């Protein structure tokens, strides 16, 4: 970072202006020029202070991380008042943590998930993200230890990851009763030991009800319509939901915009066809070494690694992008509901150790999927170390189940 130091009040005001831009329009909309227009600073002053956009992004990430850590501290202080800490109280605190982030810190939450989902992290931004993850995990572990929980070290990282994942979904789906019931059921299952007891709730009706929010007939993926659907899916996977428009799809499919409009009149029509195609293509990747046939022609092999874990991470990332877009545009909420309802569909393939217990129902599959996905997005660096860390969290969650049911 370059240039003279400014007062803390001026810098905080500048970062709040940056947050407004990112929360409303996404991280890609933040630049020295847009920030200058929003804050009243001159472009020359911003350039002199930050030097280039990356230094601005690093400063923004650092500011938002500090805000997140302050919020974690406030929640932890409140949570410590809740004694004794049984599973019912712990479930209430988990819900409170999510709802507070969605209702009272919505702009901060939106900007933070923009940073988390940006895969082009600098080292400074990755360090800021990692500091928040550690603080979140430490807060839950301290709370569990204070409550005398015998497996605080195992459960705390799982709760922290789950809260991150469900906060993102709650930003777009929090008002839906079907989603609220499903979230509550997932929390209870996680705290009770993941795998079902003989009296366990049947999750299938709740999931089906949430999935039914998208009331559309399956798209036709044959002929010219199918070619355009493939282009949409490719664009979503590589550039995100925010990049979708008739013109952008036309360029990717190498057809006139009028052709795209002929088959898909609205943006919702475009999204439905492309997301449906993308999920089908990625699902094929789990059933065989990679998608084959016509889907190959759009370069799906370039989108993801053929390993099942990598395919699911791509599915997870697409779901996150849909949820974040739906948090700004309520018209996309049905697509977010569809993405959330799909969590855990491939758990038997991705979590073979859990499947080997013989107790893997859809409720257990959803919990493991949500925890794994949340652990992925809250990691500042996407590498083999991160993957091993996620695997360890899941292994310990399964250990917690076995120990708690002995």
pLDDT tens profile 79-99 = 999 888 888 999 999 999 999
Which pLDDT tens digit goes with each residue over 343-363? 887 777 767 766 666 677 888
Angle (CA) 3 5 9, round 5°: 135
Q: What is the mean pLDDT of the chain?
A: 82
Residues 6+ apart with CB under 8 A from 254: none
**Which pLDDT score is estimated for 7?**
64
Helices (runs of H) and strands (runs of E) counted in the chain:
21, 0
| Predicted structure pTM score | 0.84
Structure tokens at 240: 């995100």
Q: By percentage, how much of the chain surpasses pLDDT 70?
A: 81
* 216-243 exposure pattern, b = at least 16 Cβ within 10 A, e = fewer: eeebebeeebbbbbbbbbbbbbeebbbe
pLDDT of residue 67: 97
How much is the average pLDDT of 377-386? 69
Of 297 and 19, more confident: 19
Whether the predicted pLDDT of 366 surpasses 50: yes
Q: Is the pLDDT of residue 312 over 80?
A: no
pLDDT of residue 283: 61
pLDDT-derived band at 46, boundaries 50, 70, 90: very high
Q: For residues 124-133, give the mean pLDDT.
A: 92
Which backbone phi and psi does 86 adopt, to 5 degrees?
A: -90, 180
Q: Give me the CATH topology for the region 1-51.
A: Arc Repressor Mutant, subunit A (1.10.10)
Q: Is 119 helix (H, G, I), strand (E, B) or coil?
A: coil
pLDDT band at residue 405 under the 50/70/90 scheme: low
- Residue 289 confidence (pLDDT): 41
In three-state secondary structure terms, 203 is: coil
The answer to whether the beta carbons of residues 249 and 260 sit under 8 Å apart is yes
Contact 181, 210 (CB under 8 A): no
Spans of all domains in the chain: 1-51
Structure tokens at 403: 């120990």
- Report whether pLDDT(406) > 80: no
Q: Which of 83-92, 271-280, 295-304 bottoms out in mean pLDDT, i.e. has the lowest?
A: 295-304
Question: Is pLDDT of 301 > 50?
Answer: no
Nearest to 352 by CA among 365, 366, 342, 367: 365
Look-up of token digits 């204070």: 146
């Amino acid at each position: 970072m370059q240039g003279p130091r400014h007062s803390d009040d001026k810098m905080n005001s500048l970062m709040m202006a940056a947050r407004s831009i990112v929360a409303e329009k996404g991280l890609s909309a933040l630049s020295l020029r847009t920030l200058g227009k929003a804050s009243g600073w001159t472009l020359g002053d911003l350039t002199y202070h930050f030097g280039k956009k990356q230094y601005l992004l690093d400063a923004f990430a650092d500011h938002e991380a500090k805000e997140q850590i302050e919020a974690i501290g406030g929640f932890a202080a409140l949570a410590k008042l809740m004694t004794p800490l049984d599973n019912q109280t712990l479930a209430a605190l988990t819900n409170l943590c999510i709802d507070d982030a969605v209702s009272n810190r919505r702009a901060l939450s939106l900007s933070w998930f923009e940073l988390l989902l940006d895969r082009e992290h600098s080292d400074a931004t990755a360090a800021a993200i990692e500091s928040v993850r550690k603080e979140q995990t430490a807060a839950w572990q301290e709370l569990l230890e204070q409550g005398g929980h015998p497996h605080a070290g195992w459960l705390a990282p799982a709760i922290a990851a789950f809260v991150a994942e469900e906060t993102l979904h709650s930003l777009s789906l929090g008002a839906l009763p079907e989603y609220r019931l499903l979230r509550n059921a997932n929390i209870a299952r996680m705290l009770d030991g993941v795998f079902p007891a003989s009296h366990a709730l049947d999750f299938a009706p709740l999931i089906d009800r949430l999935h039914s929010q998208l009331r559309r007939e399956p798209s036709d993926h044959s002929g010219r319509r199918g070619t355009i659907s493939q282009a949409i899916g490719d664009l979503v996977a590589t550039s995100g939901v925010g990049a979708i428009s008739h013109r952008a799809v036309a360029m990717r499919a190498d057809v006139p915009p009028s052709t795209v409009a002929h088959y898909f009149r609205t943006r919702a029509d475009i999204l439905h066809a492309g997301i449906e195609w993308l999920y089908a293509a990625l699902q094929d990747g789990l059933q065989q070494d990679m998608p084959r046939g016509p889907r190959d022609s759009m370069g799906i092999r370039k989108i993801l690694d053929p390993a099942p874990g990598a395919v699911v991470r791509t599915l997870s990332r697409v779901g996150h992008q849909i949820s974040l877009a739906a948090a700004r545009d309520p018209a996309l909420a049905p697509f977010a509901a569809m993405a959330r309802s799909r969590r855990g569909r491939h758990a038997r393939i991705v979590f073979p150790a859990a499947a080997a217990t013989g107790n893997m129902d859809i409720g257990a599959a959803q919990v493991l999927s949500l925890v794994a996905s949340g652990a992925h997005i809250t990691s500042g660096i996407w590498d083999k170390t991160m993957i091993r860390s996620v695997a360890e969290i899941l292994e310990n969650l399964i250990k917690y189940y076995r120990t708690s049911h002995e």
